[in-house]
A and B are shown apart, each in its own frame.
Chain A
C-alpha cells in the first residue's frame, strides 16, 4: 500500500474539489481486498452487462474526470473480463472536460466524471457536452438512493444526463489538542486567537459561499455585487489568521499534519483518516450556526461518444452495490447506491449522515454553491466571484 503522504505530495496543484486525486491509490488495494469477491462477481455478471450493452462491448473506453474515479482498481476485473481498455485523462479543474470537448475532443470522449455544480452549470447554460442517458441501459442505477434518483442537477427537460457516483461535504477539520471545536460562524474565525492557525483551500467559490452564508445571505450563489463586496470585506478580516491557501484538500491535510495550522476551513472528513495514518488525531465539525455545503460527483456520457456501449457497461458496473461501496471507500466519500451501505465498514459509513440523502430532494438538490456562469441582472456571475477571490488573495 502506498504512503498517504507520498500521495499527498503527488497531489500538487489539483483543484480544491479534487479530493479524489489525493486518494488515488491510498486505499485502492485495501478496497479491492475487501470488496474483491463481490467485485469479481459483479464483473462476471453477464445478464447485468448485457442489459447495459446488448453484449457488444470490448475495446477502448475514453474517460475524462477526477483521478480515482476512473476506478482503475475497483473495476479492474470487470474491465479485464470484458476486454475493455480505459484511456483516462485526469482533470485538475471541473471545466476541463468542456474545454477539451470544445477544442478538438468531440468524438474522442466517452465518460465524463465531474461535480454537480459544474454539471448543473453546463446543463442550465445549454452547453453541448453531455448526452441524455438511456437509463434502461444502466439497470443498477435503480438502486440509487432517493436524493440521487433523477437528481435535479443532472436532469433537464425530463431527461437524465448523469448518474451520481459519490458525495460528501466540506466541514472544518481541526486539531483537538488545540481546540475543543469550531466557532458557531465562519465570520468568528476573524478572532485574533486564530492567528496562524487557519488553512483555507485556494477555492474562490467554496470560501466565498461559506462566508456569504455566515453573513446571513440566504442563497449565496445569487449575490449582487454589493453583497459580494461585503462578503470579501468580511473575509479580509480573517485573512491575517490564515497561514496559507492550500493547493488542494490533500495539501490542506498536509499542512495540518505538519502542525503548520490547526484548523482547516472547507476541509474534508477523510483528512482525519489520512492524518490518523501519520499518528495525528484530527476531528471534523461544521460551524453550528452556518453549517457547510455538500458536493456530489457523477458519471455522464459525452455527446458523440465513440464507445457508447462500453460506457454504459462501465457505468452500470460502477452502480453495483459492491463497486459503489469500493469506490466510495477508496475515495473516502459517501455511497449513492442503497445496497452499497451494507457493504461499507463502520468507519467509512460513519463519515456521513445518510439520512439526508435517503429521500428525494434534500440539501444536495436545493443547495446551489456555484454562481451563474454569467451575470443575470443584478446577480453577479462566476467571473466576478473569481475576480473577487483574486482581490481577496492579493488584498
Chain B
C-alpha cells in the first residue's frame, strides 16, 4: 500500500503535465468539433455537421489519402536509413559513434524554416541538384518534379526527420552488444536473417518510436507542403490550419478534421506495430 501511494505521488507530476498539455487541449478540440462558429464567435451546442462535411467531401478524402501515402512513404524511407546509420554507428565505427551522431544532429541546430529553404535551394529548377545534373550532362533540361510536388514533400521530410528517427533507434541499438550478433552468426544467422530475427526484435521499441515520430510528424506537417508542395501538395495539416485563420475561420470544422486525422494516425500506428510484431515473429 505504501509503495502504491509512493508510485502515485511519483507519477503525479507526469500525469499532471500530460493532462494539462495533452488531455485538456484535446478535449477542448473534441468539444469544439461539435460546436458552430458564426462571425468569429463560437456557439456551444451539439452538431455532427462538421464530421458529416469531413466524411462526405470527396476532396477531403483525397487529401487524407495523399497525406497517408506521403507520410507512409516518408516513414518507410526514414526508418531504414536511421536503422542503417545506427547500425554503422554502433557496430561498424563504434569508436566514432558520438562524432557521427553529432554530425547528423548538428543539422537540427539550424532552424526548421532554414532547412526547408535549403531543400528549396537543392531541389529548385535552378537548384543545386539540377545544376549538377546538367553540368555532368546527365540531363539537358531541369527536372521539374523535384520541386513543388509530392516528391519534394517526401524528400524534404525525409531529410528533416532522419535525425529525429535516428535517436530512438540508436538509443535501442546502443544496448545491444556485438557479442549477440557474433553468437547469432556462429549459429548460422547472418545477413538479412540476422537483422530480421535478432537485431530488429531487440531494437523494436526504438524502431516503433522512430516510425511513430516520422509518420506522425510527416502527416501533421503543413509547412513543408506549403513551401514545397506546389499546387497539388495540399496535405491534411494544411486543411486543418486553413480552418483556423483568415476572415472566415471555421474552428469546429478544423477541430473535426484534426480529430479524424488523429484517429487515422493512431489506427495506422497500431497496425504498423502489429505488422512489425508479426514479421519479427516469423
Contact = CB atoms under 8 A, between A and B. Distances in A.
A93 B121 CA distance: 28
B246 A95 contact: yes
Interface stretch (B16-24, B156-164, B229-237): B229-237
B234 A394 contact: yes
A386 B248 contact: yes
Interface stretch (A48-56, A157-165, A238-246, A345-353): A238-246
B41 A244 contact: no
A390 interface: yes
Give the residue among A15, A243, A370 with the most B Cβ atoms within 10 A: A243
B148 interface: yes
B113 A93 contact: no
Interface stretch (A6-14, A137-145, A287-295, A327-335): A6-14
Contacts of B126: 258-260
Given A125-B39, A260-B148, A374-B39, A93 B226 contact: no
B247 A9 contact: no
A356 B19 CA distance: 58
Given A125-B39, A258-B127, A259-B125, A370 B247 contact: yes
A95 B40 contact: yes
A393 B148 contact: no
B62 interface: yes
B226 A121 contact: no
A227 to B, nearest CB: 18
Interface string B170-195: 00000000000000000000000000
B249 A395 contact: no
A354 interface: no
B63 interface: yes
Interface string B119-140: 0110011110000000000000
A383 B125 CA distance: 36
A258 B229 CA distance: 16
Interface residues of A, number: 44
Contact of A95 (B117, B127, B148, B249): B249
A219 interface: no
Interface string B46-72: 000000000000010011000000000
A202 B226 CA distance: 9
B120 A258 contact: yes
Nearest to B229: A244
Interface string A110-130: 000000001001000101000
A125 to B, nearest CB: 7
Contacts of A385: 248
B42 to A, nearest CB: 9
Contacts of B63: 394
B107 interface: no
A383 B250 contact: yes
A382 B248 contact: yes
Interface string A162-181: 00000000000000000000
A243 B232 CA distance: 9
B247 A205 contact: yes
A244 B148 contact: yes
Contacts, number: 94
A98 B248 CA distance: 12
B124 A382 contact: no
Interface string B232-260: 00100001011001111110000000000
Contacts of B242: 386, 390
Contact of A94 (B62, B117, B247, B250): B247
A32 to B, nearest CB: 27
B114 interface: yes
Contacts of A394: 59, 62-63, 234
B97 to A, nearest CB: 33
A40 interface: no
B223 interface: yes
Interface string A10-44: 10110100000000000000000000000000000
A152 to B, nearest CB: 19
Contacts of A245: 226, 231
B31 interface: no
A183 interface: no
Q: Which of A118, A205, A374, A383 has the most CB of B within 10 A?
A: A383
A339 interface: no
A391 interface: yes
A15 B245 contact: yes
A243 B230 contact: yes
A127 to B, nearest CB: 8
Given A196-B144, A385-B248, A260 B124 contact: yes
Contacts of A202: 226
A15 B126 CA distance: 27
B218 interface: no
B60 to A, nearest CB: 8
Contact of A260 (B62, B147, B229, B231): B147
A12 B231 contact: no
Nearest to A382: B248
Interface in B188-240: 223, 226-227, 229-231, 234, 239
Contacts of A390: 239, 242
Contacts of A393: 231, 234
B231 A242 contact: yes
A202 B114 CA distance: 21
A92 B249 CA distance: 13
Nearest to B147: A260
B40 A247 contact: no
Nearest to A16: B246
A390 B223 CA distance: 17
B103 to A, nearest CB: 23
Contacts of B41: 102
8 contacts: A92-B245, A102-B40, A102-B41, A247-B227, A258-B121, A385-B248, A393-B231, A393-B234
Given A247-B226, A259-B125, A382-B247, 20 more contacts: A13-B241, A15-B246, A93-B246, A93-B247, A95-B246, A204-B246, A245-B226, A245-B231, A259-B124, A260-B124, A260-B147, A373-B39, A374-B38, A382-B248, A383-B250, A393-B231, A393-B234, A394-B59, A394-B62, A395-B59
